[in-house]
Amino acid sequence: MSHMRAFFRAICVGILAIGAISCGADTSTTDFNATLVGGGEINLQTQLQNAPVALWFWAPG
């Protein structure tokens, strides 16, 4: 049973490590513009200066 526990622990540590690495800060200067559903466009860099931003990607089917 201890082998299963060690295996499970190793898997959990691996998943957490990959998650921590993939959530690192992006220091690129790439600008991101998105078209709004109601028309117009939004600039992510400008919006991030004001408050946190949540993005919801949606594609009509």
Which residue in 21, 20, 44 sits closest to 57, CA to CA?
44
Higher pLDDT pick, 5 / 60: 5
What's 46's DSSP letter? H
Cβ-in-10-Å burial (0-12, 13-18, 19+) of 7 comes to exposed
pTM: 0.37
pLDDT, tens digit, 9 for 90 and up, residues 21-34: 776 666 666 678 88
Distance from C-alpha of 47 to C-alpha of 53, rounded to nearest angstrom: 7
H or E segment and range at residue 15: helix 2-22
